[in-house]
Structures are given as structure tokens and as C-alpha cells.
């Protein structure tokens, strides 16, 4: 060890040119790779089953949910096989009546309209459906944003062969109807009704609980078996009759992708900051009825 020099080189000139080249070659080959590499094309999203196609035994929760919301809840029920999965819809009312699309809110599917559809069906040909991730519709693993929901309506209208229709939406369905009328004006037959619409909220208007559930950590916790088991315990203790609240709770417990679909709608969807769409609709020739 007496004659061994352990000092480090003090300048680049003391480092072998071979070592420099060996260090630079991976860097020089990596730069073109990252500059000119194309991402892989998007693949179709994974589709989760709706209420009609759930695997496994027909347990008590599913039976209860189907009792509250049977598959033949309205006449004219069918499924549209669309790019995002199968969508459950109903067509009610006289075939030659003016056409009307009803758009549900964030949680409760088609039964939310049960009190008004019999009245409206005397005057309109009604198209009502379950949003993806609710009721009998399937649930794609995708971003549940405003574009997704407006495409949902447009694709369904194309499926049933409707060139245009009046549009009505309640709660989250309100801003969907608004954005649909703005993005697809030729599909709207001159009138839009917004019933207690969301869409104008800001981030500060959304409480801490839905913000947490829509986060990645909150969503992971909300979809665990432990969380659902506690939800089942609370449900069995209530013992109340069929209500909208019960339908919401049962969907959370039974449908495998219902909670992520709702959480995605809170995080990315049309609940907030759509003032630009409302302003544009207000300046258009479309007649708008707002009921708050």
C-alpha cells in the first residue's frame, strides 16, 4: 500500500477518453428515443358489469336492488351496445309524439323520473337511460368528464335513430344537457330544461368528504371489502322502505364500479366550472327553462 496513489482526478483531462465515451453513449442514444418515440395507441377501456350481468349468486343485496329497480321498470326497455359498453335505456310514450331526452343526476338512475314520466308520456316520446356505472348500464374504466357524458347522449340518440330532440336534465343532468346543447346544437329540437342543475359550483363549494372519496387514496378505501362490509352493516340496521337513499346505498354495495364512476364524476365531471357553457347556451337561439 506504500506506493498506491488514492487521490481522485482533479480535472476531466485525467479521465480516460474511453470512460467518457462509455458514459455518453447511453445518454446520446436515449435522447432520440424520448424525442421520437410514439406512445402506444389507447386500448378500449375495461368494462365492468351492470346490475343485469353481475357474476356470482343472486344474493340478498342484489335481490333487494332488483326489487326496488326491476329491469322492466318502464316499458320499452333495451340495451345499446356502444363504444363505452352497454347502456340501459327505455322509450316511453306515443311513437309520433315530440321527442324528449331525460338525463339523470349523479347517483340515482332512471327511477328518479318515475313520478313525471307517466305525465310526460302523454305528450312526448321519452328516451330515458341509466348513466354508465349506474343501474343496469355497464361501467367503463375511463374519465367521467363532461365530454364523456355528452358523447353518451349523442351516441344513444344515434343508436335509436333520433336526429334531434328536446333535452331535459336534473342535478348533474342539467350541466350535461347544457353542454350537450352547446356541443351538439343540431341534435337539439329548440328547447332545453334544466331542473335544479349543478355545473356552476367552484372547488370551494364541494365539501371535504366527496373531495376525499374522489381522491386516489379515498377511492381505494371506499372500494375495499372492509368499507363495503361496514356499509352493509349500516344498511341492514336502517330497515327503511324503498327510497332514493336506499337505491344509492345498494348501488354502492352491489355494483363493482359504481363508486369510482361517481367519484370520477365529482373529480372530472360536469358538476362545476361550466359557467362558459351556460353563458353560451344563454346566447343561443335555444329556449331554456330553468327550475331551481
Asked if 277 and 178 count as a contact pair (C-beta separation under 8 A), the reply is yes
- pTM here is 0.83
The span from the CA of 267 to the CA of 214, in Å, is 6
Label the pairing between strands 165-170 and 99-103: parallel
For residue range 195-243, list pLDDT tens digits in order: 999 999 888 888 888 888 788 887 777 777 666 656 655 555 555 556 7
Q: Which residues of the chain have pLDDT under 70?
A: 1-17, 19-21, 56-58, 225-242
Tell me 41's DSSP state: P
Strands (E), 22-133: 47-48, 77-82, 85-92, 99-103, 125-129
Name the residue ranges covered by the structural domains of the chain: 60-290
Tell me 272's DSSP state: B
Q: Which residues pair with 272 in a beta bridge?
A: 201
The span from the CA of 206 to the CA of 199, in Å, is 12
Its CATH architecture, for the domain 60-290, is 3-Layer(aba) Sandwich (3.40)
Three cell numbers, residue 186: 343540431
The span from the CA of 5 to the CA of 161, in Å, is 86
For residue range 67-91, list pLDDT tens digits in order: 999 999 999 999 999 999 999 999 9
Amino acid at each position: 500500500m506504500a506506493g498506491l496513489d488514492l487521490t481522485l482526478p482533479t480535472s476531466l483531462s485525467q479521465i480516460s477518453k474511453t470512460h467518457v465515451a462509455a458514459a455518453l453513449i447511453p445518454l446520446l442514444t436515449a435522447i432520440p428515443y424520448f424525442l421520437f418515440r410514439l406512445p402506444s395507441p389507447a386500448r378500449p377501456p375495461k368494462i365492468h358489469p351492470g346490475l343485469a350481468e353481475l357474476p356470482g349468486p343472486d344474493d340478498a343485496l342484489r335481490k333487494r336492488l332488483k326489487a326496488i329497480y326491476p329491469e322492466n321498470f318502464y316499458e320499452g326497455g333495451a340495451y345499446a351496445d356502444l363504444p363505452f359498453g352497454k347502456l340501459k335505456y327505455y322509450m316511453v310514450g306515443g311513437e309520433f309524439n315530440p321527442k324528449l331526452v331525460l338525463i339523470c343526476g349523479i347517483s340515482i338512475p332512471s327511477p328518479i323520473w318515475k313520478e313525471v314520466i307517466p305525465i310526460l308520456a302523454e305528450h312526448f316520446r321519452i328516451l330515458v337511460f341509466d348513466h354508465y356505472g349506474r343501474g343496469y348500464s355497464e361501467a367503463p374504466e375511463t374519465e367521467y368528464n363532461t365530454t364523456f357524458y355528452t358523447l353518451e347522449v349523442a351516441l344513444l340518440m344515434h343508436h335509436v335513430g333520433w336526429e334531434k330532440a328536446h333535452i331535459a336534465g336534473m342535478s348533474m343532468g342539467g350541466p350535461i344537457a347544457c353542454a350537450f346543447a352547446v356541443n351538439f346544437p343540431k341534435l337539439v329540437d329548440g328547447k332545453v330544461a334544466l331542473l335544479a342543475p349543478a355545473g356552476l359550483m367552484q372547488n370551494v363549494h364541494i365539501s371535504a368528504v366527496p373531495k376525499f372519496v374522489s381522491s386516489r387514496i379515498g377511492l381505494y378505501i371506499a372500494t375495499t371489502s372492509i368499507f363495503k362490509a361496514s356499509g352493509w352493516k349500516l344498511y341492514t340496521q336502517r330497515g327503511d322502505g324503498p327510497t332514493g337513499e336506499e337505491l344509492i346505498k345498494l348501488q354502492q354495495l352491489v355494483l363493482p364500479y359504481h363508486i369510482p364512476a361517481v367519484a370520477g364524476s365529482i373529480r372530472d365531471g360536469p358538476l362545476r366550472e361550466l359557467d362558459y357553457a351556460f353563458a353560451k347556451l344563454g346566447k343561443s337561439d335555444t329556449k331554456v327553462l330553468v327550475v331551481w
